[in-house]
Structure 1
Amino acid sequence: MSNNLTSTTDLKRTHRLEALDWLRGLLAISIMLYHFHLWQIYGLQSDSLLGRLGIYGVSMFFILSGLSMAVVYNGKMEDLNNWLTFFIKRAFRILPLLWLAVAAVTIISIFIKHESVSASKILLNITGAFGFIAPAEYLNTGAWSIGNELVYYSVTPLLILAYDRSRKLGNAVLAVCIAIGLAFSFFLLDPLIPISEQWKTYINPFNNLFLYVSGIALFYNTRKATYTPTLALIAITAGLSIFLLYPAHGDQISIVTGLSRIAFCTASLLVVYGFYSYRSQIPKLLSTPLEALGIATYGVYLLHPIVNSGITFSLKLLKVDISPYITIGISSVLSVAIALAVYRLLESPMMSLGKHLSSGPRPAPTRS
Structure 2
Amino acid sequence: MTNNTTPAINRIDSLDYLRGLAAFGIMIYHMHLFTYGEADASSVLAKIKIYGVAIFYVLSGLTLYMVHIRGFVFSKPVLVEFYIKRFFRIVPLLWMATALTLVIVYPQMLSVKKIIANITIIPGAIKPETFIANGAWSIGDELFFYILFPFLIWMAKFKKGLFWGFVALSFLILIYFTFKVLDPNVYLGKQWAEYVNPLGQMFYFAAGIGLGAIERNMKKFGWPAVLGIVFLCSLITFYPVTGEPVQLVTGFNRLILSGYVIALCFLFYKCDFDFLPGFIKTILRTLGEISFSVYLIHPIIYGLIRFAAADYLSANPIIHIALTIAITLVLSFYSYTYFEKYFIRLGKSVSAKAKPAVAS
Q: Match for residue 366 of structure 1?
A: none
Q: Structure 1 residues 91, 323: closer, same or farther in 2, change over 3 A?
A: same
Cα distance in 2 for partners of 1:173, 1:321 equals: 50
1:310 to 304, 308, 311: 304
Cα distance in 2 for partners of 1:320, 1:157 equals: 48
Q: Match for residue 4 of structure 1?
A: none
Deviates more, 1:59-68 or 1:234-243: 234-243
State yes or no: 1:39 paired with 2:34.
yes
Aligned AA for 2:221?
T
Gaps of 5+ in 2: 1-5
The alpha-carbon deviation at position 169 of structure 1 amounts to 1.9
The alpha-carbon deviation at position 300 of structure 1 amounts to 0.5
State yes or no: 1:297 paired with 2:291.
yes
Q: Match for residue 96 of structure 2?
A: 100
Q: Match for residue 53 of structure 1?
A: 48
Report how many residues are paired. 349
2:229 to 236, 253, 265: 236
State yes or no: 1:187 paired with 2:180.
yes
What secondary structure sits across from 1:81 in the alignment?
Answer: helix
Cα distance in 2 for partners of 1:230, 1:310 equals: 44
Contact kept? 1:243, 1:267, Cα under 8 Å = yes
The alpha-carbon deviation at position 137 of structure 1 amounts to 1.0
Contact kept? 2:188, 2:245, Cα under 8 Å = yes
State yes or no: 1:210 paired with 2:203.
yes
What secondary structure sits across from 1:360 in the alignment?
Answer: helix
Contact kept? 1:307, 1:331, Cα under 8 Å = yes
Deviates more, 1:122-131 or 1:65-74: 122-131
Q: Match for residue 89 of structure 1?
A: 85
Cα distance in 2 for partners of 1:342, 1:271 equals: 29
Q: Match for residue 350 of structure 2?
A: 357
Cα distance in 2 for partners of 1:243, 1:361 equals: 46
Contact kept? 2:14, 2:272, Cα under 8 Å = yes
Q: Deviation digits for residues 74-117 of structure 1, max 9, x if unmatched?
A: 133313211111101000000110111111112125xxx65251
The alpha-carbon deviation at position 185 of structure 1 amounts to 0.3
Cα distance in 2 for partners of 1:348, 1:28 equals: 19
Residues 268-347 of structure 1: pairs in structure 2 closer than 5 A: 268-281=261-274, 282-316=276-310, 319=312, 321-347=314-340
Q: Match for residue 239 of structure 2?
A: 246
Cα distance in 2 for partners of 1:36, 1:260 equals: 25
Cα distance in 2 for partners of 1:292, 1:339 equals: 10
The alpha-carbon deviation at position 362 of structure 1 amounts to 9.9
The alpha-carbon deviation at position 358 of structure 1 amounts to 1.1
State yes or no: 1:29 paired with 2:24.
yes
Cα distance in 1 for partners of 2:277, 2:107 equals: 49
Q: Structure 1 residues 116, 233: closer, same or farther in 2, change over 3 A?
A: closer
Cα distance in 2 for partners of 1:103, 1:232 equals: 42
Contact kept? 1:231, 1:274, Cα under 8 Å = no
Which ranges of 4 or more aligned residues in structure 1 deviate by more than 6 Å? none
| TM-score, normalised via structure 1 length | 0.90
The alpha-carbon deviation at position 239 of structure 1 amounts to 2.1
Cα distance in 2 for partners of 1:222, 1:309 equals: 45
Contact kept? 2:7, 2:70, Cα under 8 Å = no
Q: Match for residue 8 of structure 1?
A: none
Cα distance in 1 for partners of 2:194, 2:117 equals: 19
Cα distance in 2 for partners of 1:321, 1:201 equals: 34
Cα distance in 2 for partners of 1:209, 1:361 equals: 30
Q: Deviation digits for residues 205-242 of structure 1, max 9, x if unmatched?
A: 00000000000000001224232213322431232122
State yes or no: 1:177 paired with 2:170.
yes
The alpha-carbon deviation at position 322 of structure 1 amounts to 4.4
State yes or no: 1:63 paired with 2:61.
no
Q: RMSD between aligned alpha carbons?
A: 1.9
| TM-score, normalised via structure 2 length | 0.92
Contact kept? 2:80, 2:354, Cα under 8 Å = no
Aligned AA for 1:294?
G
The alpha-carbon deviation at position 41 of structure 1 amounts to 2.0
Cα distance in 2 for partners of 1:321, 1:141 equals: 21
Gaps of 5+ in 1: 1-10, 364-368
Aligned AA for 2:85?
K
Q: Match for residue 6 of structure 1?
A: none
Aligned AA for 2:207?
S
State yes or no: 1:201 paired with 2:197.
no
Q: Structure 1 residues 12, 167: closer, same or farther in 2, change over 3 A?
A: closer
Deviates more, 1:273-282 or 1:11-20: 11-20
Q: Structure 1 residues 242, 72: closer, same or farther in 2, change over 3 A?
A: same
